[in-house]
Amino acid sequence: MNARQPVPPRKLETAAERWSRFKPIKTGEDYLNSLRGRPLKLFLFGKEEPNPVDNPLIRPSMNALRQTYDLAIEDPELATAHSPLINARVNRFLHIVESPEDLVQKNKMQRRMGQLTGTCFQRCAGLDTISVMHSITYDIDQKHKTPYHARFLDFLKKAQANNIIIGAGMTDPKGDRSKRPHEQADPDLFLRITGRNDKGIFVTGAKAHMTGGLNSHWIFVMPTMNLGPEDKDWAVVGAVPADAEGITYIYGRQSCDTRALEGGNIDVGNAEYGGQETLTVFDHVFIPYEHVFMDGEYEFAQEMVARFTSYHRASYVCKTGLGDVMVGAAAAVAEYNGVEKVSHIKDKLVEMTHLNETIFSSGIASSYSAKKLPSGIFMNDSMLANVCKHNVTRFPYEIARLAQDIAGGIMVTLPSEQDFNHEEAGPILEKYLKGVSNVPTETRVRMLRLIENMTLGRNAVGYLTESMHGAGSPQAQRIQIQRQMDVEKKKWYARRLAGIKQES
């Protein structure tokens, strides 16, 4: 093990003390207020940012999460569900999966959220984590007589009652990819247990590109891959408040992010909503035993990751909501350019829609094919979830390409908002950048900026690169598809029809 810098003594907060800082959140506005005044340590552009809520670069990512609260009020049928745990309706982002229909509703809600925000709304990894934890804690208890399931249910009841955001910390930095956690030159490259006492454990490490980390109230840390007996210290699952002592966030840059600091609201493309990823560092962070849900049971890490990926890869139907926005933006720009009736434009919109609905169909089919797990909840079909996510690694790129094709080169040669506002340059731009005569130039510019935002700018992270790498990069799905494709059975079908004598 590496020599470590001494860590200042941590305050050993009890589970009850940690929960006492929360009060139930109802509205989106309550949510924003719940993020104020927390003692977070956050770095952005080489400085500590003490007030992320009012930082114009960060705020759009919080607005996307705010929408998960507002949708629950506007459309409770879609975005809330009855929880038998607390016998009340709860936000669907905190509901465990009791039936295939719950998974289908989840997918419909994710598509709706994508339509409303045009970005990653950051709450689904936490949602999928709670179903994974429900089932895996049950399974661990069956084998080891541990108390994890009851602890987890207790945590979840409080999470539901307070309507909190759960962030999922799964992806370790991983260092040398050819080495196991215990073989790494620096053991912190996978998050691990670095201390314990009679009250709880301490964890050290980092979680990379964590979605919505600092917009969350609680973070679940959990292993990122299968582990062996020598990796026991790395086999840890626990929940910590996002502002726990010892956590540091370093904000991830996004393409064109500083446009949010320019003061206007056109050039950003989507002024209201954005995604967020951070490198989240844990330096000897304390977790009381009440919030520890795996502590050395390394043999369950692989199954835990497999269940998470199964749930989460179907959650990527979220991107079909963004795809709906892309189709709409391309169709609107075609109209502003006066080409909406041209046959190849209509055909491109059909192609975009076909690709988008293909993603949705694999995700929703995965949910309808869910099966019951021993803990009593349901898990969606893994093969179809992997197919869904694999579609997501490709089709949004083609949809984006077609949207750019329809938008035309003006999308990337438009002058700035300040030039449009300039007394001399403005009228010139107004005259020469007009499309059809009955649509204001600004309307056309706004739509072009939205397409730029989603295909090249800030929300291209959410629409394109996250589609590629989120919930596992493309090869991870191909491995799962290969594992489950049962080619021997398929050969048997073929041999039978070809009249070849079957061995078995």
Positions in the binding site for ligand SF4 (CB under 6 A)? 120-122, 124-125, 211, 315-316, 318, 466, 470
Alpha helices, DSSP H only, in 266-317?
301-315
Cβ at position 175, least distance to ligand SF4 in Å: 25
- Nearer CB in complex with ligand SF4: 211/278: 211
187 binds Fe ion (CB under 5 A): no
Which of the listed partners (ligand SF4, Fe ion, none) does 325 bind, with a CB threshold of 5 to 8 Å by partner kind? Answer: none
Rounded Cα gap, residues 358 and 320, in angstroms: 9
Cβ at position 125, least distance to ligand SF4 in Å: 5
Which of the listed partners (ligand SF4, Fe ion, none) does 315 bind, with a CB threshold of 5 to 8 Å by partner kind? Answer: ligand SF4
Cβ at position 456, least distance to ligand SF4 in Å: 18
Rounded Cα gap, residues 339 and 463, in angstroms: 26
- Nearer CB in complex with ligand SF4: 128/297: 128
E strand or H helix that includes residue 193? strand 192-196
Cβ at position 102, least distance to Fe ion in Å: 20
- Nearer CB in complex with ligand SF4: 1/468: 468
Identify any residues that bridge with 49 across adjacent strands, giving them in sequence order.
Answer: none
Which residues have a Cβ under 8 Å from the Cβ of 398 and sit 6 or more positions away? Answer: 351, 352, 355
One character per residue 54-93, x = contact with Fe ion (rule: CB under 5 A): ----------------------------------------
Which of the listed partners (Fe ion, ligand SF4, none) does 366 bind, with a CB threshold of 5 to 8 Å by partner kind? Answer: none
- Nearer CB in complex with ligand SF4: 64/332: 64
Identify any residues that bridge with 378 across adjacent strands, giving them in sequence order.
Answer: 372
Query: Letter for the amino acid at 212?
Result: G
Give the phi and the psi of residue 251 in degrees, each rounded to 5: -70, 135
Rounded Cα gap, residues 57 and 60, in angstroms: 7
Q: Torsion over CA of 220, 226, 229 and 234, rounded to 10 degrees? A: -30
**3-state SS, one letter per residue, for 4-42:** CCCCCCCCCCCHHHHHHCCCCCCCHHHHHHHCCCCCCCE
Contacts to Fe ion from residues 431-470, by CB under 5 A: 470
Contacts to Fe ion from residues 193-222, by CB under 5 A: 211
Which of the listed partners (ligand SF4, Fe ion, none) does 60 bind, with a CB threshold of 5 to 8 Å by partner kind? Answer: none
Which of the listed partners (ligand SF4, Fe ion, none) does 316 bind, with a CB threshold of 5 to 8 Å by partner kind? Answer: ligand SF4
Query: Would you tell me how many other CB atoms lie within 10 Å of the CB of residue 245?
Result: 19
Sheet holding 166-169, edge to edge: 166-169, 218-221, 236-241, 292-295
Residues marked active site are found at 120, 124, 211, 277, 312, 316, 318, 466
Contact 190, 184 (CB under 8 A): yes
Tokens of 460: 């291209």
- Nearer CB in complex with ligand SF4: 122/194: 122
DSSP state of 203: E
Cβ at position 465, least distance to Fe ion in Å: 11
- Nearer CB in complex with ligand SF4: 159/411: 159
Cβ at position 74, least distance to ligand SF4 in Å: 18
E strand or H helix that includes residue 202? strand 200-211
Which of the listed partners (ligand SF4, Fe ion, none) does 411 bind, with a CB threshold of 5 to 8 Å by partner kind? Answer: none
- Nearer CB in complex with ligand SF4: 124/159: 124
Contacts to Fe ion from residues 125-154, by CB under 5 A: none
Cβ at position 7, least distance to Fe ion in Å: 31
Rounded Cα gap, residues 192 and 179, in angstroms: 15
Which chain residues interact with Fe ion by CB under 5 A?
Answer: 211, 470
